[in-house]
Amino acid sequence: MPEPLSLVSLGLIILAVLLLGAFTFFVRNGFKPPLRQIPGYEALARLVGQAVESGGRVHVSVGTGGLIGEDTSTTLAGLALLEYVSKSSSISDLSPLGTTGNATTLPVLTDTIRRAYVQNGLADKFETTAARVIAFDAYAQAGGTTAIIIDDDVRANVLVGVLGPEVALMTEAGQRRRIPQVVGSDRLSGQAVGYVMADHPLIGEEIYASRGYLTQEPTAVASLATQDVLRWIIIAAILGGSILGIFGLNP
């Protein structure tokens, strides 16, 4: 017979699929689930607009994470921000700059920027040098990125991905240029630096909500609502188990 834990996991997966389908249907028909404010995403559109109007670039770094392994979801979150920035700044004479410290991420980084230009009918303005691998070592990558921030007329700095304490070098370069910065990481050390040094830090799981907040796509918004419902169910289960344990009613 299946173990109880396996049945619970299966039940949560089925529930998640059903909730995602239901919320997607409702969102497509006009329902808008309440989303809490995240200042970093609210500011991003303004930062991109200011950079474009000033004739400068927007820099987006997804850190050193790859697309195969435990860092996949974090790298995809950074790529979602890059896609939004690329679409919003494609009208500028200067393309955005996407940087990474992982060779497996480079092709997707390049394609993300290229697709944004193609979708906006501006394929001829796409620059093949817009996506770059800086270095495979985290600190070497951060050091190379500081040069880009200073030398490539960057007017807004977005650092979201697999980033540790080395993010301090990149944000310090942004501070020297007095440009607005958004920083988000899945590492506690990166979050701590971003909270102190960035204008708009993204804390914890906020980085994984980028597509829902920025694009308002029905499936992305439905995914956020599904996660919230599942989160409350798990919290209720933990509290319920704790109460049963206090009264000695645990099986």
Greater model confidence, 5 or 221: 221
Q: CA-to-CA distance for 135 and 240, rounded, in angstroms?
A: 49
181-218 pLDDT per residue, tens: 999 998 999 999 999 999 899 988 888 888 888 877 88
- Residue 211 makes CB contacts below 8 A (sequence gap 6+) with 80, 217, 220
User: Global pTM?
Assistant: 0.82
Which residues, including other chains, have CB under 8 Å from residue 128's CB and lie 6 or more apart? 110
Our count of domains for the chain comes to 1
| pLDDT tens per residue, range 68-101 | 888 888 999 899 999 999 988 888 878 899 999 9
Q: Are strands 131-133 and 154-162 parallel, antiparallel or unpaired?
A: unpaired
Does 1 have pLDDT greater than 60?
no
User: Tokens standing for 147?
Assistant: 């040069």
Contact 180, 162 (CB under 8 A): no
Domain presence at residue 243 = no
At residue 5 the predicted structure's pLDDT band, cuts being 50, 70 and 90, is low
Task: Identify whether 32 is part of a domain.
Answer: no
The DSSP annotation for the chain comes to ---HHHHHHHHHHHHHHHHHHHHHHHHHTT--------HHHHHHHHHHHHHHHTT-EEEEEEET--SSSTTHHHHHHHHHHHHHHHHHHTTSSS--EEEES-TTTHHHHHHHHHHHHHHTT-GGG--GGGEEE--SSHHHHHHHHHHHHHHTTEEEEEEEEE--TTHHHHHHHHHHHT--EEEEESSHHHHHHHHHH-SEEE-GGGGGGHHHHHH--HHHHHHHHHHHHHHHHHHHHHHHHHHHHHTT---
**Interval 94-124: pLDDT, tens:** 889 999 999 889 999 999 999 988 988 888 8
Q: Is residue 238 part of a domain?
A: no
Q: Tell me, yes or no, whether 57 lies in a domain.
A: yes
Residue 119 belongs to domain with CATH number: 3.40.50
Is 223 a domain residue?
no
Percent of the chain, pLDDT > 70?
Answer: 96
In a domain, 133, yes or no: yes
250 in any annotated domain = no
Is position 103 within any domain? Answer: yes
Domain assignment of residue 108, given as a range: 39-215
